[in-house]
Structure 1
Amino acid sequence: MSKHNGASNNNTLIPLTDNDGVQAVIGRDLHAFLEIGKDYSTWFKDMCQYGFSAGQDFSPISGNINGAGRPRTEHIVSLDMAKEISMIQRTEKGKQARAYFLECERKAKQPAALSGPELMAAALVEAQSTLRALESKTRELEAPAKSWNTMAAQGGDYSVSAAAKTLSRDPSIRIGRDQLFRFMSEVGWIFRTKGHRAHWEAYQAKAIETGRLAHKLSRPFLNEKSGEMEQPAPTVRITPKGLHELHVLLGGSEQQPLEVAA
C-alpha cells in the first residue's frame, strides 16, 4: 500500500511515495516534472516498451490519490525505473530528475540519528566488525580496480552482460544487461532488427568504425527443418574504448580511468 507524501514537503523536487516501506514515485508527478510533450497515458505506454514489468517496476492503481477530481489510472513507479526513464529522455530535466533520485536513495541509506550512549555502543560494534571483516573487505575493494586494469591490458572485447557487471562496480552506476542494450540504443550505437529472429546489431559508422563496438560471428549451423546451413546473427561485443565511453556517459566517477590498449 502506498502513501503519497509530496503535499507535506513543498521543497521536494518530485514528490515521493512510500510503497510498502520502499521509496517510489507517482508516474504523473514524474511526467509533469519532465515536461513531456504528450499526454501521460500515451507517454507511459511508450516507456513500458523499454522492457519494464508491471508488478516489478511499476504498479497500476485506480482512483485519484489526491482525493479530488475524476478518478483516473495512476502508476507507482520504482526509483530504478524512474531513474532509467529520466535518462531515456536525454534532456536537462531528465538529468536533474535522475540526480535527484540518486540523492534520495543515498539519503534513505543514511542511519537515523542516535543518542550519545547509542553512538558509543554502535562505534564499538562497528570497530569489532571492521577488524573481523578487514581482509574480506580489502579483496572486495580491490576487485573493481583489478577488473578495469586487467581489461585494459588484455585489449579484447566483452559481452554486454560482462560489461554491465563491470560498469556496475562503480558506485555511481547500476545497470543490467538489458538496460545497457537499451542505453546503447538510445545513444545511437545499436538498433533492433525486425522479424521472427529480431536481434541487436551495431551501427557501422557510429559504433563499428569508431572502435566502440564489434560484431562476433558465430559458427553456421544446420537447420534440421530446412536441411540447409544457416548463419546465426552476429553478437554485439563492447571494446575497451566503448566500455570507457559508456562509463563516462553513465556518469561514472570513482573508478580508475580505463586505459585502452593500442
Structure 2
Amino acid sequence: MNQLIATQNNEQGEIIVSGRELHEFLEVAERFSKWWERMTGYGFENGLDYTPYQMVHPQNKQELIDYSMKLDMAKELAMIQRTDKGKEARQYFLQVEKAWNSPEMIIKRAMQIQDKKILELENKIQEDKRYTDFGKVVEMSEAAVNIGAFVKIIYDKHGINIGRNKMFDWLRDKGYLIKSGREKNNPKQQFIEQGLFELRPTIISRSEGDVQSHTTLITGKGQVKLTEILLSEFGSRSDLSG
C-alpha cells in the first residue's frame, strides 16, 4: 500500500497522523491554524483525540505547532472536507486501519511488545548488577564495618588490593573523610546524613585517664556505593597497594 500520508505509532501503540501533513494533502486553501481551529470545533478534545507538539519546519527551520491526532479523528476530518482529496484520504485511512488490524500485524505488534519487555528486563538486570555483584543483603543490612574490614571485603570479592592506608588516602582525596586536624579521617557530616558512614565513639583507657576517640565505619549502603565507584575507577583484580 502506497503511503499517501505518513502515519506513526504512539507509545500506546495507536496510529497517529500529523495535522499539518493532512492539511497539506487535502490541499486546503485556508491557513493551517484557522483550519485546525475550525476542525477542532466539531467536538474533538485536546489530550483525547489529538496532542499538540513543537516541530521545526524542514525548509525554513521555523518552530511551529503541530498536532498528532488519532486515526479516528483523521478519518472524520477527511470526511468533513467533502472533496475528492478528502474522500481519497478517508479511503486511505480505512486501508491503513484494515492493515493494522490484520492477523499478521497483530502478531508483529505482540512480538514487538515482547521484545520491548525483554529489553527492559535486560536493562534492569544491568541496573541491578551492583546488587548481584556485591549483594543486596549488604545494602539492606544495618551492619557497618571499619576501613580495614572493608578493604578485606573488596579484595576477597573483587580482587581490589588497595590496602588500609591507601583506602584512607583515597577516601580523603575523594572528599569523604576530613583531611586534617583533630577530626582527621572522620567522615564528613553530609555523608553520614546520606547513610554512607557511621562515626562510632570508643573509649581508650590511659594512665592519665580515659580518652574518647571515634572509629569511622562504612555502612552497608556505603559499601555498595564505594565498591561501585572503585570498580568503575580501577576495575576488578587491581593492585593499588604499591
Q: Does the pair score TM above 0.5?
A: no
User: Under TM normalisation by the shorter chain, which class is it?
Assistant: 0.3 to 0.5
Name the structure where helix makes up a greater proportion of residues: 2
Larger radius of gyration: 2
Normalization by structure 1: what TM-score? 0.38
Q: TM-score, normalised by structure 2?
A: 0.41
